[in-house]
Amino acid sequence: GVLQRIDSLKLDKEKQDLNTKIMKTSNKILLTALAVVIVFIIAVAINFKVKLKDYIIEGDGNIITQEQTFEPFDKLIIEGGLSIEYILGESNILIIEADSNLMQNIETSLIDKTLKIKNNTSSRKQVNCKLTAPMVEEIIVSSGAKLISKDTIQSQSLDFTLNAGGSLSLIGNFDTIVSTINAGSKATLVGTCKEMKVSVNAGSELK
């Protein structure tokens, strides 16, 4: 009986030693794997930062102004790093103010009465513009662009869509407003409206 107890104790000790070795080995493997993952994450972050720095274009500080005149349009699309002040008027004129090395990346087009203004540059500051035109029927603002109007708009209807951080701020009196606000976008409306249909999604805001 004594010998059996001694053998049993020896077996228990051997099992404990084996378990300890297994745990130590497992811990070493986990620590090694964790270190590899951390190194990988750091390498990816550094690489991303370098590429992002290369992608972002800094303005050269030489501010220039460009003026463009368009035929009448009833739909407006704005994309990218633009901050546009909408001034009610009859002239259909766009005034762009930007660093000289960024101006060439501002793209405008007028197709089928749709005016599109796009900033193709990734820059830390927005390009300021002033657009003078009659009120349009439909507005689409996306990719961090901003549209602001300080004039009081009188219109039967307004249809606007904001995507990917787009921002809209309007003052006016409308019969009908139809709006879709997505992906962190923000709309600020001041005035009156008889009927409003709104769809707000994914962290967006309407006030």
Whether 79 and 170 share a structural domain = yes
Domain count, the chain: 2
What length is written for the chain? 207
- Note whether 17 and 40 are same-domain residues: yes
Q: Looking at the structure, tell me whether residues 101 and 189 fall in a common domain.
A: yes
Contact 84, 42 (CB under 8 A): no
* pLDDT at residue number 24: 65
**Same domain as 91, residue 47:** no
Q: Give the number of other CB atoms < 10 A from CB of residue 151.
A: 14
Q: Are residues 81 and 165 in the same domain?
A: yes
CATH code (residue 143): 2.160.20.120
82 and 8 within one domain = no
For residue 57, the Cα-to-chain-centroid distance in whole angstroms is 17
Residue 70 and residue 48 share a domain: no
Whether residue 75 is found in the same domain as residue 36: no
Residue 105: name the closest of 58, 144, 137, 141 by CA: 58
Enumerate residues 6+ apart whose C-beta is below 8 A from 51: none
Q: What type of residue is 35? A: A
Q: Distance between CA atoms of 108 and 129, rounded to whole angstroms?
A: 12
The CA-based dihedral angle spanning residues 175, 112, 183, 169, taken in that order and rounded to the nearest 10 degrees: -50
Angstrom distance (rounded) from CA 107 to CA 136: 20
- Is the pTM above the cut of 0.75? no
Going by the DSSP 8-state scheme, the letter that residue 196 receives in this structure is E
Query: Would you write out the chain's pLDDT as a tens digit for each of its 207 residues?
Result: 555 555 555 555 566 665 666 666 666 777 777 777 777 776 655 554 544 444 556 767 888 999 999 999 999 999 999 999 999 999 999 999 998 888 888 999 999 999 999 998 876 678 999 999 999 999 999 999 999 999 999 888 899 999 989 999 999 999 999 999 987 899 999 999 889 898 888 777 777
Q: Which among 54, 78, 98 is the end of a domain?
A: 54
Residues 132, 185, single domain; the answer is yes
Boundary of a domain, candidates 14, 36, 54: 54
Q: Which domain holds residue 74?
A: 63-206
Is the domain of 25 the same as that of 120? no
Answer whether 78's CB lies under 8 Å from 141's CB. yes
The reply to whether 115 and 41 lie within a common domain is no
